[in-house]
Amino acid sequence: MTHAETSLRRAAAMLAGLAMLAAPHGARAAEAWGIEHEKEVKLTGKVVDLLCALRTGTDAKTVDATDCPPDCGGGRRQLGLLTGAGKLHPAVKANADFAGATADLAPYCGRTVEVDGLLIANPAATLLMVQALRTDPKASFVKADRFLAEWARQNGKAEEWFRADPKVKAVIAADGVFGIRGLEPKP
Amino acid sequence: MLATNERHKIGWGGRAAKAVTGLALAAGLAVSGLAGVGSGPAEAAAGRRVQVTGEVVDTWCAVTGIMFAYGTAHHQCAVWCAIGGIPVSIKDAAGNFYLVLRIEEDETNVAAPRLVTIQSHEVTVDGELVERDGVKYLLVTKVADDKGVINLTHEEYGVQPFGN
């Protein structure tokens, strides 16, 4: 992919994000990002801890499962959606910049939710982006950006959490933005 | 959180797992609110030992290709995403993505410190591979080699995205 193509995709993704912010509360949340292999979807399934689901074939409520921590790991384990058709989809992205979907899904561990978002059916890996979710078909979808609220609760307000995060700062301070000590961007 | 020895009580596709699966199927999976969920097949996936060599990448950026997602140019973003809880993958030379769900002794996989600190590194890992529904999941038992960041992309791409 050329730099120009990369920039165009990035711009398209940003515009899609802005459109999401403007969507009225309760409306269908799924918005295309223009990603290759993407499908706008509404998927209903059970929230599961991926490791637990892979090892037991079921979910975190299984009695004898030994790699199924309570509450799907309390926000510290990667989660997915196990659909009625038995498809397991890793929920890798939320509707917040640079954030995964664990914060949004963890409160519903073992419960059934309806996810509105994007399924990226890339032959290399099929991924689910959670843009919004609900537990009641009659209720409005709730935007999947819980990560931001949780981050703010722990760290205070910041315009860009990813630049203000103390763990990020520590890693970048140690190895630099390029990941190589002493290698700095040109001024 | 589970103790380390607890992780070994059920092997991949082991008897206990199959018994649990059978019980779950017999009982029917609990559902609430939304109909038609949880009645599908529930099989414990079988894993196999593998050694994988490749670059540690942010899964979302790399698979979707929404921005240049490799090497030095994307290192900072990869750290953001890993700390933000997006799963980390290893991409090998053949273009396969291996979504890492465990690394060595760490029981957690959301923003796991070990995964954060090897973002953009070229690594060779030993682990257990499980494939399901179009995803290769990898449980890393050992990082056998870590060459650090060797994919020097910043000269062409700068800092992706949004500068530093």
| Alpha-carbon A67 to chain mean position | 22
Q: Is the pLDDT of residue B164 over 50?
A: yes
**Selected residue with higher pLDDT from B90 and A12:** B90
Query: Which of B59, B80, B149, B151 to mutate against chain A (most A CBs within 10 Å)?
Result: B80
From residue A155, give the alpha-carbon distance in Å to each of A44, A147, A164, B76, B164.
33, 12, 9, 20, 21
Residues of A in contact with B60 (CB under 8 A): 92-93, 127, 129
The per-residue pLDDT for A129 is 98
A57 and B117 within 8 Å at the Cβ level: the answer is no
- Find the closest chain B residue to A150 by CA distance: B84
pTM, rounded to two decimals: 0.80
The per-residue pLDDT for B9 is 24
Residues of A in contact with B67 (CB under 8 A): 6, 9-10, 13
Tokens representing A15 are 């515009």
Tell me the CB-side half-sphere exposure of residue A6, using CA atoms within 13 A. Answer: 19
Tell me the CB-side half-sphere exposure of residue A122, using CA atoms within 13 A. Answer: 23
Q: Which residue has the tokens 């060797």?
A: B150
Q: Which residue has the tokens 């970048």?
A: A172
The per-residue pLDDT for B45 is 58
Query: Which of A141, A154, A171, A183 to mutate against chain B (most B CBs within 10 Å)?
Result: A171
The per-residue pLDDT for B107 is 85
The whole-number average pLDDT for the span A23-29 is: 52
Tokens representing A118 are 């994007």
